[in-house]
């Protein structure tokens, strides 16, 4: 969530039966991704055949279609006529310099897109019902780095032509960060409808809405385990009186402070809640390993400045913490393909010293 805001905060730049998605030659030009040995670092032993899929701009939160042939992602690229995060998609071969199809309206701000079952529709969150313009929020307040939790965010379903088919949420306040269970029956999302930023689930059609978490703090960025029984997510947990007061004051202004988050796991109904990391700093963007026994996530805990983010893995019992990526600036948003053979992530590597963030795809080896 909010790639540009998250990176600015730390000084990098300005966070079933399947059908193939249908495309035509006029909609998308498939071009080979760049594959260079120089894209990876010697320590990145879990990667082979690493290739770069996007070039220039801010590109992140790329997630696989159910058939593993496409990626839907969030981007802000002046060359594509965007000045605020919008949703695009591309084949896993990449798009190189071609502009991929726009799936969001081009209005407002969007975040967190995901393929629906059948791969012919996607869901994403957008503020366009509130205003056509890009909503703005301060990036710092009283010396504290903050994210904007825009109350106009709602969750929508779109076809692959960019036509909105359905609005899944219409409660007042923030509804966003939606992802889908591997069996395609459930959606998990973050909402302020209870007065706090909690996880909720709903059926794929938007019905049967249930609250999952209830602890004070920001619960977000949730994903299902491979068997669909668990959720992994990032959370802040203010504890002292000062921390609680600050959190509530910021939330009342539609803001959160994302610099102290840890990774948690729970059952889909919220039971068996367990904190996985206790590292300090910002631990976020978690995703389950195909085995279901460990997770990958992004963190800055290992650097004194807090300005470097890398992907790590950790067992569900908190053991065997291992660094996976070694870019000196930023690696985040890892997602495994449904067949477990590939990992997609976003990185500042190979950007020519610019602030560009791009999508990379690697074959995975344990």
pLDDT of res. 141? 85
Going from N- to C-terminal start, the domains of the chain cover 3-364
Class assignment of domain 3-364?
A: mainly beta
pLDDT of res. 9? 41
Which residues neighbour 182 within 8 Å (Cβ) at sequence distance 6 or greater? 224, 226, 227, 228, 338
Q: Which candidate, 78, 135, 139, 77, places its Cα nearest to that of 108?
A: 135
pLDDT of res. 138? 87
pTM of the prediction? Answer: 0.91
pLDDT of res. 18? 28
CA 325 to the chain's CA centroid: 17
pLDDT of res. 8? 40
Backbone angles phi, psi at 38, to 5 degrees: -70, -10
Per-residue pLDDT tens listing for the chain (366 residues):
554 445 444 433 333 332 333 333 334 444 456 555 589 999 999 999 999 999 999 999 999 999 999 999 999 999 999 989 999 999 999 987 789 999 999 999 999 999 999 999 999 999 999 999 999 988 888 888 899 999 999 999 999 999 999 999 999 999 999 999 999 999 999 999 999 999 999 999 999 999 999 999 999 999 999 999 999 999 999 999 999 999 999 999 999 999 999 999 999 999 999 999 999 999 999 999 999 999 999 999 999 988 899 999 999 999 999 999 999 999 999 999 999 999 999 999 999 999 999 999 999 999
pLDDT of res. 178? 98
Is the Cα dihedral 151, 163, 224, 233 positive or negative?
Answer: negative
How many C-beta atoms surround the C-beta of residue 274 within 10 A? 13
pLDDT of res. 23? 33
Judge contact between 248 and 270, C-beta under 8 A: no
Q: For 189, how many CA atoms within 13 A lie in the half-sphere containing its CB?
A: 30
């Amino acid at each position: 969530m909010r790639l540009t805001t998250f990176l600015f905060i730390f000084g990098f730049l300005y966070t079933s039966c399947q059908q193939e998605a249908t495309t035509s030659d006029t909609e998308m030009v498939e071009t080979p991704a760049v594959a260079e040995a120089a894209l990876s670092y010697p320590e990145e032993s879990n990667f082979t055949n690493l290739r770069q899929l996007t070039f220039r701009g801010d590109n992140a939160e790329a997630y696989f279609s159910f058939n593993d042939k496409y990626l839907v992602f969030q981007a802000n690229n002046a060359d594509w006529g965007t000045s605020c995060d919008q949703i695009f998609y591309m084949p896993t071969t990449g798009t190189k310099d071609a502009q991929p199809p726009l799936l969001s309206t081009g209005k407002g701000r969007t975040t967190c897109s995901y393929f629906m079952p059948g791969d012919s529709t996607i869901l994403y969150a957008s503020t366009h019902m509130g205003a056509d313009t890009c909503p703005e929020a301060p990036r710092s307040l009283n010396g504290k780095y903050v994210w904007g939790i825009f109350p106009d965010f709602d969750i929508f379903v779109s076809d692959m032509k960019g036509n909105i088919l359905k609005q899944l949420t219409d409660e007042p306040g923030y509804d966003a960060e939606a992802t889908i269970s591997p069996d395609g029956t459930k959606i998990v999302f973050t909402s302020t409808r209870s007065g706090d930023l909690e996880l909720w689930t709903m059926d794929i059609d938007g019905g049967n809405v249930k609250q999952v978490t209830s602890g004070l703090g920001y619960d977000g960025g949730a994903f299902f385990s491979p068997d669909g029984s668990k959720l992994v997510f990032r959370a802040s947990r203010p504890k002292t009186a000062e921390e609680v007061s600050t959190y509530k004051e910021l939330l009342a202004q539609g803001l959160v402070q994302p610099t102290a988050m840890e990774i948690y796991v729970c059952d889909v109904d919220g039971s068996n809640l367990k904190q996985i990391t206790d590292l300090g700093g910002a631990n976020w963007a978690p995703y389950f390993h195909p085995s279901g026994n460990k997770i990958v996530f992004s963190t800055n805990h290992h650097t004194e400045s807090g300005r470097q983010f890398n992907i790590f893995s950790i067992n569900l019992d908190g053991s065997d913490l291992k660094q996976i990526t070694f870019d000196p600036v930023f690696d985040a948003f890892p997602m495994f393909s449904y067949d477990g053979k590939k990992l997609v992530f976003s990185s500042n590597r190979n950007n020519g010293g610019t602030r560009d963030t791009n999508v990379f795809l690697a074959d995975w080896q344990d």
